[in-house]
Chains A and B, each alone.
Chain A
Amino acid sequence: AQRVTQPEKLLSVFKGAPVELKCNYSYSGSPELFWYVQYSRQRLQLLLRHISRESIKGFTADLNKGETSFHLKKPFAQEEDSAMYYCALSSGNTGKLIFGQGTTLQVKP
């Protein structure tokens, strides 16, 4: 079954600390993976796509097919990074996105 798991509901760090938001997936084919961010009561915004291998707002994510993971990392957290983060997997030809449960990142001053 296709599934995305984000094991942490809440991740709380201090400003300047490194951040890693975990994402594991289950998918039989070649996965297309994404990270989305949702700031308080706003719409979801695309943060990263694994195919583009880019860094946005200092965040990076590497696809590890052996561990079936796509963890989101940032070396130095900022207060403005506080938000809900969703990992998502694109499913099959229809392009449906399967979302994880989300992780709330709280960056304390």
Chain B
Amino acid sequence: DTAVSQTPKYLVTQMGNDKSIKCEQNLGHDTMYWYKQDSKKFLKIMFSYNNKELIINETVPNRFSPKSPDKAHLNLHINSLELGDSAVYFCASSGGRGGGEQFFGPGTRLTVL
């Protein structure tokens, strides 16, 4: 069984569109995260979410918004997509309040044309 899953795996869209990426974990973890990996392979934290507490990386544009319907899901909504949003987005989860192993999803490759 997949521990952390994401859909879709690939997403190709036009500039200006709004899109969502879904993430689900079946590990019973309390904390979930979104990371962005750009074309140079740099991995950067975007958000973390724990018991309804959202921590936002200050460099993330407010066009990005995470939504958590329940503890097992953390979706990422992106409004008014820009060329620079093209990247691989990874969801992750961890059991404790940080400071423990993070399990990554398979990634979603977003291409904005």
Q: Do A and B come from one complex?
A: no
A interface residues, Cβ below 8 angstroms from B? none
B interface residues, Cβ below 8 angstroms from A? none
